[in-house]
Amino acid sequence: MKLLFRFFIVSLITIHSLHTQNIKISGQIISDGELEGIHVINRTAYRYATTDKNGFFIVEGKESDSLYFSSIQHQPKTIVLSKKQIDSRSLTVTLLESLNELDEVVLGAILTGDLNSDIGNSETKRPLDFYDLGLPGYTGPRMNLVQRRLYEADSGPLILPRIPPVINFYKLLNMMSGRTKMLKEQVKLDKNKQSILRLRDIIGPLFFINHDLVEDLRIEFYYFCTDDPDFQDRCINRSDVEVLEYLDEKLIEFKDVQLSKN
């Protein structure tokens, strides 16, 4: 089944590659928001690109192709390539920032201090959200920039459950280009960096009150801990006491390694 699926994907990509009229078009995004990491998708020719930190990108296309511009921080936009843009091999696109405004909340006339009672007396209606519209949405903790990019690049199923089934080309292209893997590595590095800062500035000073290790080796010791496959389970979202117990175990291993080097 996996072999058949791979053959189907390769065949589909081969068919799209037969469109030899595509040319490389240099473009730039104009926006007041962040310019790096904006997705540029040629929905007609199934070509894909992302912008650099200055908003520049290069994408393949031909006249009448539809380009779709997408970013969490911007309103999506679709343009159709004109003959003028193809001839000049350049285009400039202005994107508007996506602003999430909260609806005004009007309280009921009678407030008793009892939450259930006050909600019942309120005439306000719950605003529609993505669950009401049957759309995917994120309700977890606030993500940083790299986490947002990973969520955007890898969200949703690879095969959309429709009749006939539809391939999520956006996710597929991110996988094939290695962008998804790169973003996952960046997220992991960010987590390790935050963990090392916590060990160095918060847990470490407490730990080394009762443990002996020369100052020059302490940073190396912290990295030694983060390289452990059990580090995430033992230290992330754990109490200080649990982390101290883990460091106690790792310090013994670290000193053994140092002795073997000498």
**CA gap 218, 208 in Å, rounded:** 9
pTM: 0.36
pLDDT score recorded for residue 112: 53
* Residue 150 host element (H or E): helix 145-154
pLDDT score recorded for residue 19: 43
pLDDT score recorded for residue 91: 92
Tell me whether residue 27 is exposed, middle or buried, using C-beta atoms within 10 angstroms of its C-beta: 0 to 12, 13 to 18, 19 or more. Answer: buried
Q: Which two tokens stand for residue 217?
A: 């080796």
3.90.1530.30, 3.40.640.10, 3.40.710.10, 2.60.40.4130: which CATH number matches 2-94?
A: 2.60.40.4130
Beta strands across the sheet bearing 23-30: 56-61, 23-30, 90-94
pLDDT score recorded for residue 45: 78
Q: Which residues of 140-168 are buried (b: 16+ CB within 10 A; e: fewer)?
A: eeeeeebbbbbebbbeeeeeeeeeeeeeb
Low-confidence stretches of the chain (pLDDT < 70) are 1-20, 99-142, 144, 192, 262
91 three-state secondary structure: strand
Q: Which residues pair with 149 in a beta bridge?
A: none
Tell me whether residue 138 is exposed, middle or buried, using C-beta atoms within 10 angstroms of its C-beta: 0 to 12, 13 to 18, 19 or more. Answer: middle
For the chain, what are the domain ranges? 2-94, 195-261
**CA gap 193, 187 in Å, rounded:** 10
Peptide bond just before 164 cis, omega within 30 deg: yes
